[in-house]
Structure 1
Amino acid sequence: MNRLALPVLSAAQVAALLPDAPARVSWLGMGSDHHAFALDGARVVRLPRWPGGGEALRREARLLAWLAPRLEGAALPEVLHLGTASPLVPEGFSVARRVPGWSALGFALTDPVALGGGLGRWLADLHALNPQGSGLTVDLDPSGHDWRDAALDDLEAAAGAGVIPEVDAWAARVRALPYLRKVVPVPIHGDFAAEHVSLDGQGRLSGVLDWSDAALGDPARDLAGLIHWGDAALLAAARVAYPASGPSCGAVWERAAWYALCRALGDLAFGLTGGAAGGQEAYLRAGRRALDGLRVWWTNAPIPP
């Protein structure tokens, strides 16, 4: 079902929404669910792109307040203000303290081993949280059909634009659904990828952004972000740091590889739309880099018929 996107505001309109008067309002970019503006470089305004997005913002704010005292190792956005709905912003908006650091999307990694270890430990801590009181709800499709169908649509768009080779082989991989029916849901970020990770000046983990897709779900969805990164040293260090063990260890990483493929195809399709300001090429590069890493991952595994 197609949704009618909400209007995009100008920097001046965003400034007029705020109780104070920031000296500088600048466009940050557009994700799948929000538009974002920076306020004086210290705060971020997020405005839903779609009807119904206001409740997601409020739910995210409650979750971040719950997570902050329980999850260490990376700064989280601190929501300072939730703007009420008005004719200009029918879903409202949020204002949060900007997480320190720089986006890892397209960041040249200076110490991938240290970063991978930090990411693996941080995800292990998140996935081990007792979700009582978090407000998180289960988001787990045991059939995998939603992810498969979206990935095939993204593959078709990428193939039509000529930005992906080996279309039939990747389509076969997408259709080779992993076994999802016995997955035990845990707290997950839900959209754990480079664009939602902030790095400090030494290239180490400093913050994690955009919790609007957080849920009780398959931990492999977050681990997919580590594979999607496309850096072998980062992934190896993360796998050492993340305590996946026992008979299901291989299964969680195989599910993660499948989710990473779906994410890579989504990056290619999103990059074709020019999604984030100046970010079109960054998403295309990220998608291609992830596919390169997945080729290595599946080197010894035959493409399904």
Structure 2
Amino acid sequence: MTSAPPLRRRHDRIILAGLIGNVMEWYDFAVYGYFAVVIGRLFFPADDPAASLIASFGAFAAGFIVRPVGGLLFGRIGDRLGRQQALTWSVIAMAVPTVLMAFLPTHASAGIAAPVAIVLLRIVQGLSVGGEFANSLVFLVENAPGERRAFTAVWGSWGASAGILLGSGAGDLLTHVLSEEQVLNWGWRLPFLAGGLVALTGYWLRQGLEPELPNAEHASPVRAVFARHKGAMLRVALLNLGFGVGFYAAFIYAVSYIKNIDHLPDATVFNLNT
């Protein structure tokens, strides 16, 4: 009887650790999309505003392309060193490029180096998100009671949605407090800078968890899972493809679309999206 409360507290701490990491990761990942119009003008200038926006979202897409690589990379770290180590490093890999984005020089002052730098930082962010989401779900399931695995794992997905909502809310607050000129000049940097504070919170919450010993069943787990579960992996990938396209079109790109096509003020756009 006396062991129940400590076990419950540990379970709650594990859920919080899995949740906060995804909040931070997806906040940082989504903030770029919400400020794609501004980033396009500052880092990918062109005579046609549409070309700048396409180039800006091209850098956004770079983060998606490398996400499977991030899953493989951080999954291997988790298998070898433990999930906690993989999750700690994924938080760091997201926090560093996000804060660096807040201090990047624009194309006007750094030339071609500016867009190259932002693409490279987006790639690191994509690797981090790929490692964070997959490893956090595995971490939650591995540390959940047998009868509560689904309930425990779903907090990882909720954390991702909460992070995207937080990013939209940050844009909403920013556009209500600052003028459009202030956002363009320096205000867009503030949400990226704030991402560092969220990352520190996630890092702190993930310290002190009891480290688990890696238990690799196969010397080549990637090869083994493709051999055993190829059909299931394909179905899950296609499900995520459909969901991802619909979600990001509705809740990320819509901010840029409504602003450019409907010409609504930024504050109204972020308010509607949030």
Q: Is TM-score (shorter-chain normalized) higher than 0.5?
A: no
TM-score class, shorter-chain normalisation, is: under 0.3
The structure carrying a bigger helix percent of its residues is 2
Which structure shows the higher strand fraction? Answer: 1
TM-score, normalising length: structure 1: 0.24
Tell me the TM-score normalized by structure 2: 0.26
